[in-house]
């Protein structure tokens, strides 16, 4: 561990360029960083070390532990839940969630994702140009898809786009309605899912998971779509390859996830319950650590020429944007399906798609967690 201290999250120098701090960062397995709260933490830099720590029982996600660094000075309700994020309670919850949030459920939704995508593209095509991709397509699609999956009634979905109703308050009412009148949706399945040994999700767990799936399901996916479009339009040679050969799309989506320019791993803050050796460095018990996924995704020991965006990339390690181990993103299959359907349809409909303003005019959202774009004007 070197004596240098960096500010984290890192800043993006432009709309599509990766943080300058990535250069040489992986020479040190552990680097001290200062968080937006002013607290210090230890940033883990290397791909294999991060994979190992995310499955290590000595690494806790319990942010109520005394002495753990604060991510920001503001309180974030989503991270102050009484739901345990450590085994064995979390293991039980994940097991129950997996019984309801299945790959087959997501696949059954794929035709509906396509239908929603086509409808939004019809409106885009008929309207004026340039159009803001975020408000015209990325957020409406993500909101509609996660609401379809969870079972949010159609006439109640717009409030999330407009942020009129806090999802935490809304979810309590929705769950009670689903108890009284269950459907084929995910919330109804979560209410009913159980196993013989562990029973069902309790009321707090059900509320927490339903709300987090809603929040992560539309904000994260929408920002990933915007990130993908910005990366592709900033690399016209790669966009041309993908337009000419749609068969590259599954691999291209993985590369877009690896190189996403709207993410931060601030929420990957963890607490070390015992001394752990990381790359020859002892991380002492009680340390706050950041298992930085975007840093792992640019580790030259895992990815050849990691700064290069290449939709034909193959043979490298899997990207870690969805994390790994017990906290692997339960919505990964849904996010992949949205990206695949949306990008395939978008490039087929608008093969000469491009940004409607110079990339250096794109303005980022000033948020330590998401760091998306305020608008992404596009034309064709």
Please pick, among 41, 294, 338, 344, the residue that the annotation labels catalytic: 338
At 78 the pLDDT is 46
Task: Out of 41, 69, 216, 342, pick the active-site residue.
Answer: 216
Tell me which of 21, 219, 254, 255 is the catalytic residue: 219
State pLDDT tens for residues 21-50: 999 999 999 999 999 999 999 999 999 999
Question: What is the reported pLDDT for 75?
Answer: 58
Distance, CA of 377 to CA of 358 (rounded, Å)? 9
Verify whether residue 259 is a known catalytic residue: no
Which tokens sit at 5? 């201290």
Active-site residue flag, 329: yes
> What is the C-alpha separation between 152 and 170, in angstroms, rounded?
10
Is 221 among the catalytic positions? yes
pLDDT at 372: 87
- Report the alpha-carbon distance of residue 281 to residue 29 in Å, rounded: 8
Tokens 């009284």, located at residue: 180
- Which of these is catalytic: 52, 317, 329, 359? 329
Considering 221, 287, 288, 323, which one is annotated as catalytic?
221
Q: Give pLDDT, residue 79.
A: 46
* Per-residue pLDDT tens over the stretch 295-328: 999 999 999 999 999 999 999 999 999 999 888 9
Let me know if 219 is a catalytic residue: yes
Q: Which of 379, 365, 94 is nearest to 220 (CA)?
A: 365
Residues 131 and 310: their CA atoms lie apart, in Å, by 27
Give the Cα separation of 97 and 14 in Å (integer).
38
Residues in the chain where the model's pLDDT stays below 50: 77-80
147 tagged catalytic:
no
């Amino acid at each position: 561990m070197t004596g240098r201290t960096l500010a984290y999250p890192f800043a993006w120098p432009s709309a599509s360029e990766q943080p300058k701090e990535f250069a040489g960062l992986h020479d040190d397995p552990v680097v001290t960083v200062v968080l937006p709260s002013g607290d210090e933490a230890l940033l883990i830099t290397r791909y294999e070390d991060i994979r190992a720590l995310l499955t290590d029982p000595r690494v806790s996600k319990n942010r109520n532990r005394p002495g753990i660094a604060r991510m920001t000075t503001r309180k974030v309700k989503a991270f102050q839940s009484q739901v345990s994020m450590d085994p064995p309670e979390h293991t039980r919850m994940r097991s129950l969630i997996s019984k309801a949030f299945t790959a087959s459920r997501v696949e059954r939704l794929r035709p509906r994702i396509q239908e929603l995508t086509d409808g939004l593209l019809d409106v885009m095509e008929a309207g004026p140009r340039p159009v803001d991709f975020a408000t015209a397509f990325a957020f409406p699609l993500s909101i509609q898809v996660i609401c379809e999956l969870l079972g949010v009634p159609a006439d109640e979905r717009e409030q999330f786009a407009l942020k009129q109703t806090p999802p935490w308050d809304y979810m309590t009412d929705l769950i009670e309605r689903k108890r009284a009148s269950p459907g084929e949706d995910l919330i109804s399945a979560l209410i009913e899912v159980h196993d013989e040994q562990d029973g069902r999700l309790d009321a707090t767990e059900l509320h927490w998971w339903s709300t987090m799936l809603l929040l992560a399901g539309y904000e994260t996916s929408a920002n990933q779509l915007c990130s993908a479009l910005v990366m592709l339009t900033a690399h016209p040679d790669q966009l041309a390859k993908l337009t000419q050969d749609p068969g590259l799309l599954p691999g291209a989506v993985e590369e877009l996830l690896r190189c996403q320019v709207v993410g931060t791993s601030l929420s990957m803050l963890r607490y070390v319950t015992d001394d752990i050796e990381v790359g020859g460095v002892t991380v002492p018990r009680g340390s706050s650590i950041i298992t930085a996924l975007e840093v792992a995704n640019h580790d030259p020991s895992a990815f050849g020429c990691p700064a290069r965006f290449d939709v034909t990339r193959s043979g490298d390690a899997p990207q870690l944007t969805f994390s790994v181990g017990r906290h692997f993103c339960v919505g990964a299959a849904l996010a992949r399906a949205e990206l695949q359907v949306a990008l395939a349809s978008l490039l087929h409909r608008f093969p000469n798609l491009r940004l409607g303003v110079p990339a250096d005019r794109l303005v980022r959202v000033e948020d330590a967690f998401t760091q998306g774009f305020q608008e992404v004007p596009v034309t064709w």
